[in-house]
Amino acid sequence: MIDDAHPLDAGIWLRPARLSDAASRAEALTRSRTYMKPWEPARPESFYTEEGQRERLAGLLAEREAGRVMPWVLSDSEDRVVGGFNLNAIVFGSFQSAVLGYWVDVECAGRGLATAAVRRICELARDELRLHRIEAGTVLHNTASQRVLAKCGFEEFAVAPRYVHIDGEWRDHRLFHRILHDNPATGVV
């Protein structure tokens, strides 16, 4: 089920984000700040605080209630956050699509956790949300993220010039997508 915790690796779980994750999430993001800088937008200092993450999570959870976002975290055996994954811009009807975004704590990078989480999220998106398609974008030189997407069945379909403001500049992005099923659209009016 989409609201369950899903084991990914020894001691690592993918589970829905909670407001109580704010402090742990702020710690992981602070720890990983330099590591993620080339792939992230410029963030205010408040983003790296417990209060900043509480505000961010409150917004994500409100969007989840509205059916527009599905936020998850990776948590370790002590329930500390070590990554974040979102299905953003969820649209139902005849589109049935979403945009995937994710990050993994620098201390857990390179262990295959992003690949395992993205695979599980694709299953949940197909089976629980009934989405047809997921998109994702990466900065051109983010080869690690591109490998994750390729391992999970995503295909590159375009390069978008000056697509997202990352690390202080408008950056070109490789755009990927994965078709989850070709069933008829549900709930189309």
Phi-psi region of 123 (alpha: psi -120 to 50; beta: other; left: phi over 0): alpha
Q: Which pLDDT value is given to residue 88?
A: 98
User: What is the tens place of the pLDDT at every residue in 78-97?
Assistant: 999 999 999 999 999 999 99
Model-wide pTM > 0.75 = yes
User: What is the tens place of the pLDDT at every residue in 98-112?
Assistant: 999 999 999 999 999
Q: If pLDDT is split at 50, 70 and 90, which confidence band does 2 have?
A: confident
* Three-state DSSP state, 134: strand
Q: Which residues pair with 137 in a beta bridge?
A: 175
Let me know: does 119 contact 135? Beta carbons within 8 Å: no
Q: If pLDDT is split at 50, 70 and 90, which confidence band does 189 have?
A: low
User: What is the tens place of the pLDDT at every residue in 64-73?
Assistant: 999 999 999 9
β-strands 133-139, 97-104: how paired?
Answer: parallel
